[in-house]
Amino acid sequence: VIVKLARNARRATPAQPSIGETHAERLAQVRSELERRRLDGYLIFNRQDQFWLTGFTGEDGAVLVTARAVVLLTDGRFGLTAQLEAPWARAVLRKRRTPDVTAGVIRRQHLSRVGFDPAHLDVGTYAALQRALRPVRLLSASGVISAMRRCKTAGEVAAIRRAIAVAQEAFEAVRGELRVGLSEAEIAARLVYEMQTRGAEGPAFPPIVAAGATAALPHYTPGSRRLKRDEVLLLDWGARVDWYVSDLTRVVCLGTMPAQLKKAYAAVREAHDRAIAAVRPGVRAAAVDRVARDVIRRARFGERFNHSLGHGIGLNVHEAPRLSQVSKDVLELGMIITIEPGVYLPGVGGVRLEDDVIVTPGGCEVLSSLPL
């Protein structure tokens, strides 16, 4: 009945809508990868992967890709969304979110080996789906789409540029209003407000605003602590525009920065600059991390740089590639990554400087432009 409803809805549209160029290309890419992995179907549960492949933005969904079909499983709330955003895909509006509906759709496609990304399917759903599908085999196939999302198309680069511009304008507006006595939570709220009034769908993530000693905690949640003179304020924020994100960090100080942090700032800045100079196609991500880590080690802050150098950004704030000591990734043309070395001094504060760069033929272009 559900499928019939979807078919009737399709009949109501006058002409069979055709898939746009971007999505057609991506679909061809996915299909050839499925062939390579000897899969005749692929289930996509991750919302960003679904958006990348189909343009569908609904919350509740799974996408099934086969050699001939793209089936969008969602529920009644997103039926119209599916029709508007991916009219070329076959929508199945399920009444309940059950593995049986998914299994039924797969059965009708006569598939035998269906892949999925284990990063996006919980063990309970997997077990239920596998039971319902027997004898069709449900096979773990990791990184199929996340690997394809690493290098950005011109359209994606443009969206990320807009997300950066909005985040930077918001920062400059907020920085102009910073004064002693404002709380971290107030500053975070202002950042979000300034981004949204400038066209962001929202923040890319809840901003980190850390005053004074709390800046020593790399992933701090802003609270009631108030901005004081001669203390650092660390802000890590980003905007989401057309689904793509930016991710930036700056450290400011009203008054004079504590001497130890001034030294740390100089080391972090040099690590940041040298790492950016080392970015180019073909270089190992771990080697770029090493460049930054060596600078910080030489400044005797080695133990205080306790996270990786950076990560890819796109539809997610953290996506492939990873820039860390243990990363096996190699940088490629069109990747957009963050470079964000940091030094954290317990009881004193912390410094992290984060910019977004795109890998270009000659090295990289720094997309963000706030002064350091």
Stretch that binds Zn ion, among 71-79, 171-179, 348-356, 364-372 (CB under 5 A): 348-356
Q: Is 338 in the site for Zn ion (CB under 5 A)?
A: yes
Contact flag: residue 156 with Zn ion (CB under 5 A): no
Q: Quick one: which of 247, 329, 355, 356 contacts Zn ion (CB under 5 A)?
A: 247
Task: Work out how close the CB of 54 gets to Zn ion at its nearest, in angstroms, rounded to a whole number.
Answer: 27
Q: Return the range that interacts with Zn ion (CB under 5 A); candidates 32-40, 241-249, 300-308, 356-364.
A: 241-249
194 or 319: CB nearest Zn ion: 319
Determine whether 229 is exposed, middle or buried from the number of CB atoms within 10 Å of its CB (0-12, 13-18, 19+).
Answer: exposed
φ, ψ of residue 75 in degrees (nearest 5): -120, 175
Q: How far is CA 122 from the centre of its chain?
A: 20
Angle subtended at Cα 354 by Cα 318 and Cα 331, rounded to the nearest 5 degrees: 55
Distance CA 101, CA 89 (A): 17
- Whichever of 229 and 307 has its CB closer to Zn ion, that residue is 307
Q: Cβ of residue 140: shortest distance to Zn ion, in angstroms? A: 28
Which parts of 160-219 interact with Zn ion (CB under 5 A)?
none
**356 binding Zn ion? (CB under 5 A):** no
Minimal distance, residue 208 CB to Zn ion, in Å = 7
One of 156, 184, 236, 289 touching Zn ion (CB under 5 A): 236
**Residue among 206, 193, 157 at smallest CA distance from 314:** 157
Question: At 259, which amino acid appears?
Answer: A
How far is Cα 263 from Cα 265, in angstroms, rounded to an integer? 5
Nearer to Zn ion, 33 or 247 (CB): 247
d(CA 127, CA 305): 41
- The residue among 88 and 205 lying less far from Zn ion, judged by its C-beta, is 205
The closest of 19, 124, 14, 29 to 72, measured between CA atoms, is 19
- Residues lying near Zn ion in the complex (CB under 5 A) are found at 236, 247, 338, 354
